[in-house]
Structure 1
Amino acid sequence: MRLSIDHQTGFRYDSPVRSSYNEARMAPQTRDGQTVWTSRITIEPTAWSFSYVDYWGTNVTTFELHEPHERLTVHSQAVVDTRGDEIAWDTERRPARNDLGWPALRDRGVIDPMTDFLTVTTRTAPPPELTARVAEVAQQPPRLAGLDVCRIVHDRLSYRRGSTTVNSTAAEVWELGTGVCQDYTHVALGALRSIGLPARYVSGYLHPGRDGSVGSTVVGESHSWVEWWCGSWVSYDPTQGRRLTDRYVRVGQGRDYGDVAPLRGTYSGGSSEMFVTVSMTELG
């Protein structure tokens, strides 16, 4: 699927801000399953900026403003070709030929380079109840164990906007039983790591797929999902309870949301209000 993505986010300030320092992680990446044809980030007011790829492999635009402004807008536009995971490994419960087994995953040759994705962070620490439940599925081949961990999370949680905050932890979400995609991802990450699967947070966009026709523009949304490593990275969406389709656009990855927040920074001034809009157009 070829998609045009228009993502605007920023802040409205109660009083003029004299200076601000920010990082935007909003530019999609070319990688397996995805080709970026065009990508542009614009900032209003015009700011001094430069771009780089961070430690986790995410495209970053860092910028700063040193003139009074009452509104900051970051506008990301991209055209991307996407390809979904066409192998029905999840519904057929079929490990891949090159998957590693548990003895290999527990070898220092894997643990050492994957330490970042095996470490449980504050956001992802699983509650004891979840740790006990996922331990019961950990005797299967690693790919299928990861699948069942995500299904446990999917079956436990209900999607409800506004029930959590950006700082909610996996333990809090599990107890509450509701959340949004960020929460599903954090809960799944902690559970996957608890059984010894290196796992990372992936951020991006999801085309809703409703009334989809070439040339139509729909309200899209920022989205997140997980990947675990068992010889290669396996992608799965615990919120939707499925492997990835061509409606997913990848932007970045890291240990948890803190590594991939679309826009973050600091400023000198009063209170602020954040705004976000995402629109997606199917081009073919």
Structure 2
Amino acid sequence: MTWRLEITHKTRYQYQEPVYSSYNEVRMIPRSGGNQLLLSSLVNVSPRATLYTYRDYFGTAVTAFDFHRVHDHLEITAESHVEVRNYSGPSSEVSWDFIGSEAIQDDFAEHLMVTPYTTVSADQASEIRDLVRGQSTPIDGLNRAIEWITEHLSYQSGITSVQSSAADALAVGLGVCQDFSHATTAALRASGIPARYVSGYLFPGRDPIVGESSIGESHAWVEVWLGRWIGIDTSNAVERTDQRYVAVAKGRDYSDVPPFKGIYFGGQSSTPFVTVTITRRQ
């Protein structure tokens, strides 16, 4: 099944005092490739600025802009149309010998490395590795890793922060999609399975009415390489992502994919106001 989705993502900062200059970049344009095709995209900012778009190291579209005049707010609106089809999973089963071969481990070294966000304790890494590698195939190992994560983490907002690592979330047993994704990535990498962090959008319903808008959300999940990349979402107990998931950015962890980041000189800003609206057009 294929869906055509219209996505509007708005982020607004209101500054309590004047801001004199700022440098910013956003990752809000969906990717093309795999099971999705970007049909059109447009990013607008207020106050008006000259926008520059480039691809980062991991192939994500980045829109950069800066201000050198006094302003009291920043509003970013990204509109896109994307076609997403359901994903059937791997075409063939791969073996542990294949995943562990020198060529594969070298090719996917960046998606096997431990990062500050994907750190877990030595005891946890050993436990996970034994459980996952004890399965007969990498697919079975992946499913065991998913079970381990859902046994050790429950979804609850307000406990962790954007700076929290997998180890932080596992220590309290609670977290949000970012924490589930970091913990899942850590578990798979500890077992020698390449994994990468994905940020994007999640359509909230399974059977939306064409033309009816829904409040969507920015979301994070994981892609695992088992002969080809497979999407999984442990925060929603989804073993294979489908056409509800629209990928924007991919990388080693959250630090490679933030939707917005920047620096500015001036007054303190308020908490950002963020809305995501998704409409199925076909």
TM-score scaled by length of structure 1? 0.92
State whether residues 127 and 174 of structure 1, in contact with CA within 8 Å, keep that contact through their aligned partners in structure 2: no
Tell me the equivalent position of 1:133. 127
Alpha-carbon distance in 2 for matches of 1:3, 1:197: 32
Instruction: Work out which of the residue numbers 256, 265, 269 in structure 2 matches 1:268.
Output: 265
> What secondary structure does 1:110 align onto?
helix
Identity of aligned residues (%): 40
Q: Which runs of 5+ in 2 are unaligned?
A: none
1:89-168 paired onto structure 2 within 5 Å: 96-97=91-92, 99-134=93-128, 135-140=130-135, 141-168=137-164
RMSD: 1.6
Tell me the equivalent position of 1:9. 11
Give how far 1:96 is off.
4.3
> What secondary structure does 1:104 align onto?
helix
- Read off the aligned partner of 2:245 and give its amino acid letter: Y
Tell me the equivalent position of 1:27. 29
Instruction: Work out which of the residue numbers 73, 77, 80 in structure 1 matches 2:79.
Output: 77
Alpha-carbon distance in 2 for matches of 1:280, 1:129: 42
- Read off the aligned partner of 2:58 and give its amino acid letter: W
> What secondary structure does 1:137 align onto?
helix
> What secondary structure does 2:140 align onto?
helix
Instruction: Work out which of the residue numbers 180, 184, 191 in structure 1 matches 2:176.
Output: 180
Give how far 1:182 is off.
0.4
Tell me the equivalent position of 2:222. 226
Q: How many residues align?
A: 276
State whether residues 154 and 240 of structure 1, in contact with CA within 8 Å, keep that contact through their aligned partners in structure 2: no
- Read off the aligned partner of 1:268 and give its amino acid letter: F
Runs of 4+ in 1 over 4 A off after TM superposition: none
Give how far 1:104 is off.
2.5
Give how far 1:147 is off.
2.5
Alpha-carbon distance in 2 for matches of 1:144, 1:210: 26
Give how far 1:144 is off.
2.4
1:205-216 paired onto structure 2 within 5 Å: 205-209=201-205, 212-216=208-212
1:81-133: per-residue Cα shift (whole Å, max 9, x none)? Answer: 1112245xxxxxxx742x43222222221222211111110111123453233
Give how far 1:19 is off.
0.7
State whether residues 131 and 141 of structure 2, in contact with CA within 8 Å, keep that contact through their aligned partners in structure 1: no
1:256 is aligned to 2:253: yes
Tell me the equivalent position of 2:58. 56
- Read off the aligned partner of 1:248 and give its amino acid letter: Y
Q: Which runs of 5+ in 1 are unaligned?
A: 88-94
TM-score scaled by length of structure 2? 0.93
1:149-184: per-residue Cα shift (whole Å, max 9, x none)? Answer: 122112321111211110011111001111110010
